[in-house]
Structure 1
Amino acid sequence: MNDTEKLALLTLKKIPNLGDSSIKKLIRTVGSADTVLKSKPSNLLKIDGIGRVKIKELHNTEHQHVAEAELRFVEENNLQFLTYQDQDYPDKLKHCLDGPVILFGRGAIDLKSKKILSIVGTRKVTKYGVSFCEELIEAIAPLNPVIISGFAYGVDITAQRAAIKHGLQTVGCLAHGLNQMYPKTHAKYIEQVEANGGFFTDFWSTDVFDRNNFLSRNRIIAGISEATIVIESADKGGSLVTAEIANSYNREVFAVPGRTTDALSRGCNTLIKTQRAHMLTSPADLLYMLNWEAKEENTAVIQKELFVTLEGDEERIYNFLTAHGKTVLDSIALQCSIPTYKLASHLLSMELKGVVKPLPGKLFEAV
């Protein structure tokens, strides 16, 4: 995209009451952002959904001056300038009606042909939430997914640090311009994130930081990925808003269940109870619902990563089935010295974890 079109698009973004979806509609109708600015208001008013309020300040030159300054900021700081029409713009975000017409980026982000997951949750994450998040990312690391989050306290930074630890790409979606960083204490992670992905935002360097920006930022987190995972949330909060947006985009949503007495599990439990999220209890749930099949050469590695928590009887059963292949239930009970009534319970648990598959004739095999 040439500088003239970039400047025109930035100018449109500064016009009050003219949102992303309206800008896309105008460009789709007349051909380009520059043409929109040069069009007569009377012609634009013929477009369905475009009223006088939206284009009232279309020819206010002050908006172009602000746009020129922002374009200089982008160029001087060597930032990525992605528009919804560019090939490098995130594919799934292109299909969101209210997706940003412009994304500013920093780092080494590459989302092409990638499995992309958004992970969000409470800023006051518990040890259980941290452990689940870290183990989940460790387990799915062989699939090389991109981990998206908001670079905030709690679940967000836990997910992004875990992604970096396992050599995965991670992208922080920010609620402010790229001339600042919130929270400031996370500045120490910027270099690592940029080396393993980077940052996206649709906020300008001139935008004043406001907590209301988080709601706008959340639509990027929800729209950019195949699925959003909520790890711990109170009964109100930004994570639940992100889940709602993801549902509106027809994305998959997962929530980690918790005890009914835990305040930071209420949001997740409600999402599951109201069927607005799939229950996520193990990495196998994620692979099954997203139909993420491991490549044949990586299957053994992934299975090992997914199920390192098997202990006692379950580990003995799994090792036996791995060594002997398909075996009837009675033979498993005899060879593993486990009563049949206990074995049935173990096999069901292992089936839910995805390590055992039942077959006709009371046969079972290791996955």
Structure 2
Amino acid sequence: MNSDERICSIALTLCPGIGHIGAKRLIEGAGSAVEVFRNRKELPEILPGINPATVTALDCPAAFLRAGQEMEFVEKNRISCLTLKDEAYPSRLRECEDAPIVLFFKGNTDFNRLRVINMVGTRRATDYGKQFCADFLHEMAVLCPDVLVVSGLAYGIDIHAHRAALANRLSTVAVLAHGMDRIYPFVHRKTAVDMLADGGLLTEFLTETNPDRFNFVSRNRIVAGMCDATVVVESSEKGGSLITADLAVGYHRDCFAVPGRASDAASIGCNRLIRDNKAALIQSAEDLVCAMGWMPVSKAEKPEAVQRNLFPDLSEEEEGVVHILSCRGDLHINTLVVEANLPVNRMSALLFELEMKGVVKALVGGVYHLR
């Protein structure tokens, strides 16, 4: 990806009144951020119905000046600038309507590995919540050592999830609510630095951005959107982790919650998520791994390859899905999306067609089985 696309993507985020959804639609319609600006005056023809105010807003020299300054900081500090066009951009997040058009990353990990979860919860974690983080990720390291653990570096459950991941040699990423020129809270700086070797720090915000309250809500959509599953460990009646859970459900991601006693204030939110069927109850990493269809398949259990001549009417994409399932066994739809490198809406359509043809069967929790 050339620097022009990066600078134009950053500049697009700075044009007044466009927003996340508007910016993403402009890029999808024009083909790239560069083309959005290059064909600014022709956009009404390229994108019928576009608001004239948007075309006016794109004439913003100050945005390019600020974008250039940000790129200088990025290059000086060896930070990765990821646009929607970059392969390294989180593919799960890219499918979300309000995905950020540019991300900044410092660290070393693969956002597009087969298994990605986030662990979130109250900033006032109890010993119960802290111990669950430790036990859950210790068990996860045995069952799925390739999993990426995402959280927000905040006090409470977030920081304990990061530290438990590090202790068990799991890759872990913190999504920040501010720019890369600071760490908030500062007391978590050592943990943030430790994460850079296998994991790292991710943000959509430019330098000089303060960790204001509304930035945390915006941050939560990235946490939810880039993962296969959200795990709420502890939550009071209100809180950011419940927002993350709602976002995950809206993105058609799996959501899990750890139950607590009815009298525990720190478990009110989790218990309600379970009661309202917004989250599945889990008590261990094995519960999540089973629900997601991530249990390893031994060679003895691996299904035999499907004979191609049994399904003569399959399209090339359908054949690809069948091949993946025949080699890997039962898989969650999010894993299929990553394996096949297809958008989630396209994969859903393919799986529906394969179900209608009697080739695959939908199991509980978004898992698919080859008949």
SS at match of 1:122: coil
Distance 1:83 1:155 in 2: 30
2:68: which partner in 1? Answer: 68
Distance 1:50 1:74 in 2: 32
1:115: which partner in 2? Answer: 115
Distance 2:189 2:218 in 1: 22
Alpha-carbon spacing, 1:125–1:51, altered in 2? closer, same or farther (3 Å): same
Distance 2:23 2:275 in 1: 38
1:58: which partner in 2? Answer: 58
Distance 1:44 1:22 in 2: 14
> Could you tell me how far 1:295 is from its partner in structure 2?
4.5
Contact (CA 8 Å) 2:36, 2:43: kept in 1 or not?
no
2:248: which partner in 1? Answer: 246
Q: Deviations over 1:167-200 (max 9, x none)?
A: 1100000000010010011012122111121010
1:93: which partner in 2? Answer: 93
Distance 2:107 2:258 in 1: 31
Distance 1:264 1:50 in 2: 46
Contact (CA 8 Å) 2:136, 2:284: kept in 1 or not?
yes
After the TM superposition, list the runs of 4 or more consecutive aligned residues in structure 1 that deviate by more than 6 angstroms: none
Contact (CA 8 Å) 2:103, 2:204: kept in 1 or not?
yes
CA root-mean-square deviation: 1.7
Distance 2:43 2:78 in 1: 37
Bigger Cα Rg: 1
> Could you tell me how far 1:154 is from its partner in structure 2?
0.6
State the AA in 2 paired with 1:291: G
> Could you tell me how far 1:46 is from its partner in structure 2?
6.5
Contact (CA 8 Å) 2:175, 2:201: kept in 1 or not?
yes
Contact (CA 8 Å) 2:40, 2:55: kept in 1 or not?
no
Residue of 215, 218, 235 corresponding to 2:217: 215
2:288: which partner in 1? Answer: 286
Which residues in structure 2 correspond to 1:139-288 (within 5 Å)? Answer: 139-142=139-142, 143-144=144-145, 145-288=147-290
> Could you tell me how far 1:19 is from its partner in structure 2?
1.9
Which residues in structure 2 correspond to 1:8-19 (within 5 Å)? Answer: 8-19=8-19
Contact (CA 8 Å) 1:236, 1:267: kept in 2 or not?
yes
2:344: which partner in 1? Answer: none
Q: Return 12-21 or 225-234, whichever deviates more.
A: 12-21
Alpha-carbon spacing, 1:68–1:257, altered in 2? closer, same or farther (3 Å): same
2:47: which partner in 1? Answer: 47
Query: TM-score, normalised on structure 2?
Result: 0.77
Contact (CA 8 Å) 1:235, 1:266: kept in 2 or not?
yes
The reply to whether residue 21 of structure 1 matches residue 21 of structure 2 is yes
Alpha-carbon spacing, 1:110–1:42, altered in 2? closer, same or farther (3 Å): closer
Alpha-carbon spacing, 1:112–1:32, altered in 2? closer, same or farther (3 Å): closer
2:125: which partner in 1? Answer: 125
State the AA in 2 paired with 1:265: S
Distance 1:32 1:223 in 2: 22
> Could you tell me how far 1:209 is from its partner in structure 2?
2.8
What percent identity do the matched residue pairs reach? 39
State the AA in 1 paired with 2:292: L
Query: TM-score, normalised on structure 1?
Result: 0.78
Distance 2:19 2:119 in 1: 27
Q: Deviations over 1:35-70 (max 9, x none)?
A: 211224463376256313333321121111111111
Question: Gaps (5+ residues) in structure 2?
Answer: 302-371
Distance 1:294 1:235 in 2: 37
Distance 1:50 1:208 in 2: 32
Alpha-carbon spacing, 1:88–1:42, altered in 2? closer, same or farther (3 Å): closer
Contact (CA 8 Å) 1:147, 1:160: kept in 2 or not?
yes
The number of residue pairs the alignment matches comes to 298
Alpha-carbon spacing, 1:260–1:26, altered in 2? closer, same or farther (3 Å): same
Alpha-carbon spacing, 1:123–1:48, altered in 2? closer, same or farther (3 Å): farther
Alpha-carbon spacing, 1:266–1:49, altered in 2? closer, same or farther (3 Å): farther
Q: Deviations over 1:248-291 (max 9, x none)?
A: 00000000111111111110011011000001122232122101
Q: Return 201-210 or 25-34, whichever deviates more.
A: 25-34
> Could you tell me how far 1:133 is from its partner in structure 2?
1.3
Question: Gaps (5+ residues) in structure 1?
Answer: 300-367
